[in-house]
Structure 1
């Protein structure tokens, strides 16, 4: 099920405790652009299918990543793209966005997405995996 833009951004705003939709939108755009660079094929398309069109396009047309970023480097990259962000606030941004994305996915798609990513992303998606 595809979320409408206002429903998606409101969930991100609530999870991230942002003061405005603009702040939530900025975080969503950065996080989804970075995530899109790490996902490929059918799994990326399935994630995009659950997103509002504007965010799906960001996910499907990412910048190319030279190498997969581990979760800590992903957070640092997010901080670098959000003006005034620190590593701590960027971790909050990433978790707010990715947990809403995880809510839109069925368990099998989420499992496959996590298999494409370096270990540790399960925590950023708010879905800790058992060892």
Structure 2
């Protein structure tokens, strides 16, 4: 069952130490739009099913990526899409959003997500890739 939008945003706001829910919402929208371009098939659909509907639709209708972004390029792209962001603040935004999404995804889905992403994304999600 998907997590409620207010609850999801509250977790992102707390983890990202945002002053407003609007700041947290902006980070969620950008990060999920970029992430959605990297996930395919049932993995993307399964994650979307665990997110609030507003964010599920963003994940399912992502920005188009011509190639998978390395973690560094993902951070730079996030910084470019969030007004006033730097790579350092974008890394903070990504961590707040992806750790919340991973928590909503449950125990096994985050591993399946990481298998679809280039090496290094485990750190963006807040944990190491299982060996």
**d(CA) in 2 for partners of 1:25 and 1:124?**
18
Matches within 5 A, 1:49-88: 49-88=49-88
**d(CA) in 1 for partners of 2:27 and 2:12?**
9
| 1:116 matched residue in structure 2 | 116
Asked if residue 8 in structure 1 is aligned to residue 8 in structure 2, the reply is yes
Regions of 4+ moved over 6 Å: none
* Structure 1 gap ranges (5+): none
Cα root mean square deviation, aligned: 0.9
Q: Deviations over 1:7-32 (max 9, x none)?
A: 00000000000000000000000000
Asked if residue 47 in structure 1 is aligned to residue 32 in structure 2, the reply is no
* Structure 2 gap ranges (5+): none
The answer to whether the Cα contact below 8 Å between 2:27 and 2:82 also exists between their aligned partners in 1 is yes
